[in-house]
Chains A and B, each alone.
Chain A
């Protein structure tokens, strides 16, 4: 509770939290307010925003409701961002913990795998993965996670290397706990907090990567995403710029919100620690 108060106490934290709450709200309300497929054609094409009360943000090139697209797109963006980040965090910390604890050959082998993934620019990796396997939501999420898990893995390994020399780990060993038990019950929980700090950055990057993939036509074409809205609006950029600008603003706000939230959270955590 006090953590939340401290989070809201910093200006970054407050703004970030408000933006994220609004986004979550939009995503949750989308199926209620716009139960139909957001890609369905509901009116004449290219209605400008704020001219028709039933279509407040206007329609796109085919007559699809821009507001419905934006709200459903919020859900897609958040889902992809959170799922990809979760996947990357889990995979990364598991690999990092194993490598750190096992040491020796296993460590070498795992870290070289991490290196191999880190060498390839993560966006290129996602691009290649999606174009080979075909675009659908789970594939896009996996593709993004594929490029993002190396950061958590390296960080987790570094933490584990320091933690495993601590006394309580030695004590656990003396008590006769099995290595895997030590790894996941004693070491991992203590190595996690700094790794968690990475998560919001990964969420923000994932949202951007997903948008970039859809912009290039590599997203799932059967669901609405901000990236694909921008890409389609680009064809009429000169005559109807709002079609690209509105989802662009939504995207910017999301990434900004996630960053501010993580800044605020880091601040709040730091202050708690210094007080303690």
Chain B
């Protein structure tokens, strides 16, 4: 008996080695459709986009797990159907009805039904997801009259405008049969072994090396996906992405993985194309987050002085090399539905900034220093770090000594959003189609400690809070839009944070890759129609 066992084990081992060597992504394998190799700069801890709705997760997971609808350049209301084919809100704002796509199956063969949507909404989006918590705060139940209809019932009027704008980001549907009965969904190992309905299946993940996604032959989209394989090669070194593209080792680098300073050169290389479109629905904002617990910073004059001290043109032209726009307020220009330029502006004026600080009663000491602040630049982008270096100098010009403390991503998030161990920090929040999704949270008071990219600076203003609450209950689209214009004005007056610039990313791809940047969330969409020309 032991002998048999031993041989069987041998046999299994040999087979495993053989299989592994066959599964290795080698050049000759995936001929049909081709393999797209993409640079990835991070390896998210939790890969489930239904829980962690962030772009780092979406970049990989959006190919596997789909939302109800995706952003679109030309679709009605800027949306294209995915797992839902239509959506309609009731006039009282108390219910939204989704018709779901027929004939969709999960990667494990089980059918996709309204029960999955109901489970995702009630057990994942509402209680666990960073953004869903807000959008679905008043979601009471999801009724499933039949397999292809899901009716979301709200306890309080919830604007359909918000739900609609949030669909691409907050409605990644996970399979009920995978997570049902799990004691702790947030910590379930299934979060990293995704089973979805998307055009690609997650085949393999080698930490520090690559994620390999393979074609889902049972995908509902006709003739899709076009690619047979996508490999996300982990290339944390941004400088390496450009050379890898030139050597055709990778075919695509999104999210400005190729440094901005390299774009001019690389755009002239044969066979490489630079795309600045495809990020319109995920505008990043460069902001100075302020800890209002510091008594100096609780003074509006000091915040105004800081705003006057920042030369936005320098930031746009030198740090972003022109690939950004100066901000006029908390809502970016790309959000045409809501944006108003009619807000208080703080033009670059060092003399005025100094005067404001004198007025506030913070005189310079013998060394020309008024007070010292702890500055934490977010380590997420080289631009946020460079802006930190610039901000230190800009504040030095008005007598504020900002001491930089560098942290890695985890330590930065903890220091700013949990421990509040900062005076000012450079942040990069994202505007996601509607101010109520990830923008009002930057200002509203009462968010518990530890919620990332929220108001953790201790700012509290009753009239702004009331305005945000009102907008969250206003069902009428025009009235709600007006409330958000008023919101922008009040934020600019109060300066709970300072908006400096807004930017979309740059995608650099080989010209052999087709259908790049064809929707406003392209890098984080499903890539079902992406092709590779041989």
Q: Show the binding face of A for B, using Cβ within 8 Å.
A: 37, 39-41, 45, 61-63, 131, 134-135, 217-218, 221-222, 234-240
The answer to whether B261 touches A217, judged by C-beta atoms less than 8 angstroms apart, is no
Report, nearest first, the 9 A-B pairs whose CB atoms are least far apart.
Answer: A221-B404, A236-B261, A221-B406, A45-B318, A235-B259, A40-B393, A41-B393, A222-B404, A222-B403
Q: B265 to A62, Cβ gap below 8 A?
A: no
B-chain residues with CB within 8 Å of residue A221 when the two chains form the complex: 388-389, 404-406
Contact check, B239 vs A134: say whether CB atoms are below 8 A apart. no
Query: Out of A40, A134, A217, which one reaches B396, CB within 8 Å?
Result: A40
B403 / chain A contacts, CB cutoff of 8 Å: 222
- Contact indicator A237/B239 (Cβ below 8 Å): yes
What 15 additional pairs, Cβ within 8 angstroms, besides A37-B396, A131-B408, A238-B262? A37-B393, A39-B389, A39-B392, A41-B393, A61-B261, A62-B389, A221-B406, A222-B403, A234-B239, A235-B238, A235-B259, A236-B261, A238-B265, A239-B261, A239-B262
CA distance A240 to B321 in the complex (A): 15
CB distance B393 to A39 under 8 Å?
yes
Report B-chain residues with C-beta under 8 Å of the C-beta of A61. 261, 318, 386
Are the CB atoms of B405 and A134 closer together than 8 Å? yes
Cα A131 to Cα B410 in complex, Å, equals 12
Q: For the complex, give the distance between the alpha carbons of A154 and B319 in Å.
A: 50
Q: Are A41 and B405 in contact (CB under 8 A)?
A: no
By the criterion CB–CB under 8 Å, are A62 and B239 in contact? no
Q: B345 an interface residue at 8 Å Cβ cutoff?
A: no
21 A-B pairs, CB-CB below 8 angstroms?
A37-B393, A37-B396, A39-B392, A39-B393, A40-B393, A45-B318, A61-B261, A62-B318, A62-B319, A62-B390, A63-B318, A134-B405, A221-B388, A221-B389, A221-B405, A235-B238, A235-B239, A235-B382, A236-B261, A239-B261, A240-B261
Nearest Cβ distance between residue A60 and chain B, in whole angstroms? 10
CB distance from A217 to the nearest CB of B (A): 6
Interface residues on B, range: 20 to 34
- SS of A interface (majority): loop
- The distance in angstroms between the C-alpha atoms of A266 and B375, with both chains bound, is 47
Q: How far, in whole Å, are A12 and B450 apart by their CA atoms in the complex?
A: 59
B242 cross-chain contacts in A, Cβ below 8 A: 238
Interchain CA distance A221-B382 in the complex, whole Å: 14
Nearest Cβ distance between residue B533 and chain A, in whole angstroms?
Answer: 27
State whether B382 touches A217 (Cβ < 8 A).
no
Contacts of B265 in A (CB 8 A): 238-239
The 0/1 profile, CB within 8 Å of A marked 1, for residues 396-414 of chain B is 1000000111101000000
With CB as the reference atom, state the residue of chain B lying closest to A219.
Answer: B406
* Chain B residues in 8 Å Cβ range of A62: 318-319, 386, 389-390
Cα(A61)–Cα(B262), bound, Å: 12
Picked from A134, A218, A236, the residue with its CB within 8 Å of the CB of B259 is A236
| Chain A: minimal CB distance from B145 (Å) | 55
Taking CB as reference atom, which chain A residue is nearest B389? A62
Which residues on A sit within 8 Å (CB–CB) of B318? 45, 61-63
Could you tell me which B residues sit within 8 Å of A by CB distance? 238-239, 242, 259, 261-262, 264-265, 318-319, 379, 382, 386, 388-390, 392-393, 396, 403-406, 408
A62 to B318 alpha-carbon distance, docked (Å): 7
Give which listed residue, B390, B392, B408, contacts A222 with CB less than 8 A. Answer: B392
Q: How far is the CA of A40 from the CA of B396 in the complex (A)?
A: 9
Closest Cβ of chain A to B16, distance in Å, is 33
CA distance A135 to B406 in the complex (A): 8
Residues of B contacting A239 with CB < 8 Å? 261-262, 264-265
Q: Which residues of B contact A131 (CB under 8 A)?
A: 408
Q: Roughly how many angstroms separate A237 CA and B382 CA in the complex, as a whole number? A: 14
A61–B390 CA distance with the chains assembled, in angstroms: 11
* Chain A positions within 8 Å of B238 at CB level: 235
Complex: A237 Cα to B241 Cα, angstroms: 13
Residues of B contacting A41 with CB < 8 Å?
Answer: 390, 393
Least Cβ–Cβ distance between A218 and chain B, in angstroms: 8
Which of A40, A237, A238 counts the most B-chain CB atoms under 10 A from its CB?
A: A238
Which A residues lie within 8 Å of B392 (CB)?
Answer: 39, 222
Q: Shortest beta-carbon distance, B292 to chain A, in Å?
A: 24
B residues less than 8 Å from A240 (CB atoms): 261
**How far apart sit A85 and B404, CA to CA, in the bound complex (Å)?**
27
**Which among B238, B389, B405 has the greatest number of chain A C-beta atoms within 10 A?**
B389
Residues of B within 8 A of A234 (CB): 239
List of A residues within 8 angstroms of B406 by Cβ: 135, 217-218, 221
Shortest Cβ distance from A72 into chain B, in angstroms?
15
- Give bound CA distance, A234 to B261, whole Å: 11
Q: Which residues of A contact B382 (CB under 8 A)?
A: 235
- The residue of chain A having its C-beta at the shortest distance from the C-beta of B386 within the complex is A62
Q: Which residues of the other chain, B, contact A40 by a CB distance below 8 angstroms?
A: 393, 396
Task: Determine which residue in A37, A40, A222 has the highest number of CB atoms from chain B within 10 A of its CB, and name it.
Answer: A222
Chain A residue nearest in CB terms to B242: A238
**Interfacial chain A residues near B386, Cβ < 8 Å:** 61-62
Residues from chain B with Cβ under 8 Å of A236 in the complex: 259, 261-262
Chain A minimum-CB-distance residue to B377: A221
| Interchain nearest-CB distance for A59 vs B (Å) | 10
Residues in A neighbouring B379, C-beta threshold 8 A: 217
- A37 — which chain B residues lie within 8 A by C-beta? 393, 396
- Cα-based distance from A236 to B263 in the complex (angstroms): 11
B261 touches A235 (CB 8 A): yes
Min CB distance A267 to B, Å, is 43
Residue numbers in A under 8 Å from B389 (CB-CB): 39, 62, 221
Which residue of chain B has the shortest Cβ distance to A218 in the bound complex?
B406
What is the CA–CA distance of A41 and B391 in the complex, to the nearest angstrom? 11
Q: How far is the CB of A160 from chain B (nearest CB, A)?
A: 42
- Alpha-carbon gap, A235 to B260, bound state (A): 9
Closest to A44 in B: B318
Query: A243: shortest Cβ distance to chain B, in Å?
Result: 10
Q: What is the bound-complex CA distance between A269 and B259, given in angstroms?
A: 52
Please measure, in the bound complex, the distance between the C-alpha atom of A119 and the C-alpha atom of B405, giving whole angstroms: 31
Chain B nearest Cβ from A248, distance in angstroms: 15
CA of A89 to CA of B385, assembled, Å = 37
> What is the CA–CA distance of A235 and B396 in the complex, to the nearest angstrom?
26
Instruction: Specify which chain B residues have a CB less than 8 angstroms from the CB of A238 in the assembled complex.
Output: 242, 262, 265
Q: In the bound complex, how far is the Cα of B259 from the Cα of A239, in angstroms?
A: 11
Which residue of A has the minimal Cβ distance to B314? A41
